[in-house]
A and B are shown apart, each in its own frame.
Chain A
């Protein structure tokens, strides 16, 4: 800041051309809040502070397009009609304001240095009350967690001199008096637990005692005295330990020592689910099949596989559930940018080439009228979560230039307390960098410089890792909410890939959960130590305490290990590219993580204590068999399903249900083909509106072989969890595998990722059911292991999120707990071949329609049984080796060009799958007579295929020994004819395209 007088200027920009947004907002206000607006105007506001203010012509040039907008720099009576209310929504101090940052850059181009803040001014028209205006601002237009809302009657608004007294939000932190506090842990158990809660450490009593005991050791005391540190732990140290040991970072539940009692009543000990089932699945598959294409699994930020002679692929899927519940847009945006950084931090850094996004939400039209009070207080409404998360993922992918090629929406009421937001990214890297080093390996030498690059540090995102390890309640800290900045990250990504190819660094990792504490703490293990000075870190504003600098999760940051001789070149390149990069310390071989502030030690912890000392959790787990599904309101779910209707009604109902209906309206908001390499797109068919089963990226533009693709698909079956989590896991894998098969994936070159999102599986007074949920987790891991072996598919990466419960009040003030369905989302990535996948759409009248897979089906957990009364079936088991034989034959038939279409049969059963293939091809179908069970029952390992009559004999020969039945024929007549049904194609299209 200069010393001269700072002047301020407010500018307002109104639109000359009305867009679609105002009308959409009026509709939303009516539909979701029952408030009738006659109109709404949005005016963008910028507040500028500078020693020299830009003159009016510059403001016009920078801020407004003369054809589209009007710029106001002084009060004018703006609207032609008189609004009822004016609402100004600005960011709270310290919240990322991307528009303002860009405006600062824009002013810089014209020679003005200024600080800018942005806000939005809304004028509401219509006969509405002050309470209506408050409600719409807090629930539709703004998020009070991150934004400040001023609602004023229009007359009052006009009476104030808003252009004269201009205030920019400014973070003002009282500077800490001391660099650190020491914390006495020699206190009672209850006091230790209180301390953990009060400081948001999320450490258990056992962990608190473990820390206390460490500091009580004579060796520790001696070492600390030598380092000039107090005997008691500093707050910096305690925070480092809390972040490093958070469930989010350490995966304590997957590493726990478990006594598991299964359905046979026998109890056995399982030492680490991760080692026993996940890691071992990969080892055993690798060994059994002699796989040589696993380059790096479970050891880096992402799994790395070799499907090509020139390039490697890496893939990672993350979840971002808690932040997305509080701020859907910011949470999802931060999530997708975060997983992009995992790819950028894999090996020596990979380039993101595709995104995949899976959302589990409460149904978009929940709550039903009259049941609003049943919704939880705190999380946003299902519709706001849907729209906010969607927009966050759209901006995160599109603005980063990464195509979104695959995804899914899954709706169930049990996600009303916490949405699940799975965000994944595929990256590409060469086998070898230009200087000959392997791109998949990183090394750090003692003496290498620690460089932090990307954004600066703020208070945003303090305690993100520990926060996500707690159940949501009304007091969730607002600092845990962040807004990503795709522009900063894109510029940083371009810079880092350039620096990688110029050989300017030796190792890279992202600053995600836990901030510098995690990134430097983990990298330090490679050299044996690290020392860094927090005073050298660039900050967004002054006043942050050392512990805050150490654990802040401010976004868009990566940490590098840079050989001293390359430092100048790296920093110079960063400067040329407009990227912040700062040397903050160096790696050592001291065995310690040593942290200073301006040269004064504020923390020193042995790496061995941070990373390897914590004894595993001890947990009990029980799974005695299926339990009836109970609703989140507690007790058994009231059965208010309709009686089974006729089949035509049932089909049209299912086709428009949220889980089956077309998502085209949403998916077209995502750029799915930037980078010009998307081979299988989300849509297929004559009108390009039929859904495909998976996405595929052509590898040639990324340096791969001309015929290679990377096929990405996903699968899950959470509604099976109450019946049998073992099968739930297997169905999820099977669906993911079938989806990639449809898009041309080779079942022999296929890897899997596991993302577990579970309700809290640790028993406590608050969570009496913990052992059962842990039992479900064990059982699902068993299912996952067995299917990986049966399918010969290795797991290459995974993540778990273990506290997906809402505990708090509903809108009527009653206590409620809403736990998510135990959910395993499986992502499959396979090597595919160009040109062999034909899409899900029927191609020509006369083609034979086949059902591949067993005709046996079950209503258990089916979409049909969700809406209509149906027999209580048991779920069907799955025959892994039989399925795999079919998948190999099917892949062979695809390669031989014997198929015209291939579509997996999933939600809604066989007839829904046939209807979808008809929609894609705009053709009819004659299907052999069947009952509702055969038509809508569900089972794994099934497909609908169409085959030209001339190829039918060869196809049937190719499928010898598999369940392969001809069930009908594609017809020119635009209708689905089956039993006594004759549904016009137009009705089927209308139902399916209804959307939400």
Chain B
């Protein structure tokens, strides 16, 4: 008997542009996904509760004006506030990829949701411009992120961003970095520096491990056909992240079934 397919909501609209491949990634990994315009979910916030997980995809929401992710974060905070908070409080998995990561950071959800003020940001790349380059991601020991649990080998994924450099509030970088390390909130670092990110951080999760933000694009490498030299084995390295979360949700379901039985 097959397990129920977890259902993900993938946001689109306002300049988001990776919704299709993000939804396809969930489906390819055995889940289901609905692409929904942000305005439609704002019109009926109660719909959010029906989903098992949420993805804020990459792109250029609002053209990156006022800072990447800034206006989308304002829109979510002011127009979707409570429904969104409830979703996160229930520890339903949330992923923000690239622009989505920037949105989650501007929302304050990553990496310190309980801090009074924002302490971390994604600054413009150190070299000053956009970059499209494949990167090697080294999984970090002790990460509590449910999306990346069990990943031991380095992943190759494309990074495509202009504002991906993790920085911390003035004078607190070392302490905040240590705090993130201690609480297992750094799932991936770049193997080599590409944007000047502090300690080469490429991804962050919240203290519960359910909310993941990462700059590189796992949804863009689900198939060998998209590998840099187009001659690798199936599947692509991004698959494991989507496969992980679907197994995680199905595992929860399985254990729930067991308990009920």
Known contacts A68-B167, A577-B39, A674 near B128 by CB under 8 Å: no
User: Does B71 lie at the interface of the complex (its beta carbon under 8 Å from any beta carbon of A)?
Assistant: yes
Check if B168 sits within 8 Å of A578, measured CB to CB: no
Task: Kindly report which residue of chain B lies nearest to residue A68, judged by CB atoms.
Answer: B121
Check if A668 sits within 8 Å of B132, measured CB to CB: yes
Task: Kindly report which residue of chain A lies nearest to residue B160, judged by CB atoms.
Answer: A671
Q: Which of A111, A394, A487 contacts B63 (CB 8 A)?
A: A487
User: Does A29 lie at the interface of the complex (its beta carbon under 8 Å from any beta carbon of B)?
Assistant: no
Task: Kindly report which residue of chain A lies nearest to residue B76, judged by CB atoms.
Answer: A109
Residues of B contacting A700 in the complex (Cβ-Cβ under 8 angstroms)? 223, 225
Residues of A contacting B167 in the complex (Cβ-Cβ under 8 angstroms)? 17, 67-68
Known contacts A17-B123, A20-B127, A105-B71, A675 near B20 by CB under 8 Å: yes
Task: Kindly report which residue of chain A lies nearest to residue B231, judged by CB atoms.
Answer: A835
Check if B132 sits within 8 Å of A401, measured CB to CB: no
User: Does A701 lie at the interface of the complex (its beta carbon under 8 Å from any beta carbon of B)?
Assistant: yes
Known contacts A17-B167, A68-B67, A109-B78, A577 near B37 by CB under 8 Å: yes
Residues of A contacting B223 in the complex (Cβ-Cβ under 8 angstroms)? 698, 700
Check if A20 sits within 8 Å of B39, measured CB to CB: no
Q: Which of B13, B221, B230 contacts A834 (CB 8 A)?
A: B230
Check if B228 sits within 8 Å of A20, measured CB to CB: no
Q: Which of A283-291, A655-663, A676-684 contacts B (4 or more CB under 8 A)?
A: A676-684
User: Does B48 lie at the interface of the complex (its beta carbon under 8 Å from any beta carbon of A)?
Assistant: no
Check if B63 sits within 8 Å of A102, measured CB to CB: yes
Q: What is the bound-complex CA distance between A965 and B130, given in angstroms?
A: 43
Task: Kindly report which residue of chain B lies nearest to residue A666, judged by CB atoms.
Answer: B129
Check if A67 sits within 8 Å of B74, measured CB to CB: no
User: Does B229 lie at the interface of the complex (its beta carbon under 8 Å from any beta carbon of A)?
Assistant: yes
Residues of B contacting A677 in the complex (Cβ-Cβ under 8 angstroms)? 21, 226
Task: Kindly report which residue of chain A lies nearest to residue B170, judged by CB atoms.
Answer: A16
Q: Which of B112-120, B141-149, B200-208, B241-249 contacts A (4 or more CB under 8 A)?
A: B112-120
Residues of B contacting A98 in the complex (Cβ-Cβ under 8 angstroms)? 63, 65
Q: Can you list, as one digit per residue, whether each of B56-70 has a CB less than 8 Å from chain A (1) or not (0)? A: 001110111111001
- Total cross-chain contacts (CB, 8 A): 178
User: Does B15 lie at the interface of the complex (its beta carbon under 8 Å from any beta carbon of A)?
Assistant: yes
Q: Which of B39, B65, B75 contacts A109 (CB 8 A)?
A: B75
User: Does A490 lie at the interface of the complex (its beta carbon under 8 Å from any beta carbon of B)?
Assistant: yes
Q: What is the bound-complex CA distance between A68 and B168, given in angstroms?
A: 9
Check if B169 sits within 8 Å of A401, measured CB to CB: no
Task: Kindly report which residue of chain B lies nearest to residue A575, judged by CB atoms.
Answer: B39
Check if A109 sits within 8 Å of B71, measured CB to CB: yes
User: Does A63 lie at the interface of the complex (its beta carbon under 8 Å from any beta carbon of B)?
Assistant: yes
Q: Which of B40, B65, B118 contacts A65 (CB 8 A)?
A: B118
Bin chain B's interface residue count.
Answer: 35 or more
Tell me how far the C-beta of A619 lies from the nearest C-beta in chain B, rounded to whole angstroms.
45
User: Does B210 lie at the interface of the complex (its beta carbon under 8 Å from any beta carbon of A)?
Assistant: no
Q: Can you list, as one digit per residue, whether each of A75-103 has a CB less than 8 Å from chain B (1) or not (0)? A: 00000000000000000000000110111
Residues of B contacting A487 in the complex (Cβ-Cβ under 8 angstroms)? 14-15, 60, 62-63, 65
User: Does A568 lie at the interface of the complex (its beta carbon under 8 Å from any beta carbon of B)?
Assistant: no
User: Does B158 lie at the interface of the complex (its beta carbon under 8 Å from any beta carbon of A)?
Assistant: yes
Check if B39 sits within 8 Å of A578, measured CB to CB: yes
Check if B66 sits within 8 Å of A67, measured CB to CB: no
Residues of B contacting A683 in the complex (Cβ-Cβ under 8 angstroms)? 228
Q: Can you list, as one digit per residue, whether each of A13-24 has a CB less than 8 Å from chain B (1) or not (0)? A: 000110111001
Tell me how far the C-beta of B115 lies from the nearest C-beta in chain A, rounded to whole angstroms.
11
Residues of B contacting A401 in the complex (Cβ-Cβ under 8 angstroms)? 17-18, 59-60
Check if A494 sits within 8 Å of B13, measured CB to CB: yes
Q: What is the bound-complex CA distance between A577 and B128, given in angstroms?
A: 33
Tell me how far the C-beta of A116 lies from the nearest C-beta in chain B, rounded to whole angstroms.
10
Residues of A contacting B221 in the complex (Cβ-Cβ under 8 angstroms)? 676
Q: What is the bound-complex CA distance between A231 and B88, given in angstroms?
A: 71
Q: What is the bound-complex CA distance between A681 and B74, given in angstroms?
A: 36
Interface centre among B62, B67, B169, by most chain A C-beta atoms within 10 angstroms, is: B62
Q: Can you list, as one digit per residue, whether each of B90-121 has a CB less than 8 Å from chain A (1) or not (0)? A: 00000000000000001000000000011111
Known contacts A66-B118, A672-B132, A835-B230, A679 near B225 by CB under 8 Å: yes
Residues of B contacting A838 in the complex (Cβ-Cβ under 8 angstroms)? 231
Tell me how far the C-beta of A61 lies from the nearest C-beta in chain B, rounded to whole angstroms.
7
Known contacts A398-B60, A669-B130, A102 near B39 by CB under 8 Å: no
Check if B228 sits within 8 Å of A668, measured CB to CB: no
Check if B65 sits within 8 Å of A62, measured CB to CB: no
Q: What is the bound-complex CA distance between A698 and B236, given in angstroms?
A: 15
Q: What is the bound-complex CA distance between A679 and B220, given in angstroms?
A: 11
Q: What is the bound-complex CA distance between A102 and B132, given in angstroms?
A: 25
Q: What is the bound-complex CA distance between A936 and B3, given in angstroms?
A: 64
Q: Which of A102, A398, A577, A679 contacts B130 (CB 8 A)?
A: A398
Cβ contacts A to B, 5 pairs, < 8 Å: A62-B74, A68-B123, A105-B62, A674-B160, A839-B229
7 shortest A-B CB distances, which residue pairs? A401-B17, A20-B128, A102-B65, A676-B21, A67-B121, A487-B63, A676-B220
A residues contacting B by CB (< 8 A) are 16-17, 19-21, 24, 61-63, 65-68, 98-99, 101-103, 105-106, 109-111, 394, 398-401, 485-487, 490-491, 494, 576-578, 668-681, 683-685, 688, 698, 700-701, 834-835, 837-839
With A105-B62, A577-B39, A676-B220 given, name 18 new contacts (CB 8 A). A17-B123, A20-B128, A65-B118, A66-B117, A67-B121, A67-B168, A68-B67, A102-B66, A103-B65, A576-B37, A670-B130, A673-B220, A680-B230, A688-B133, A700-B225, A701-B24, A835-B225, A835-B230
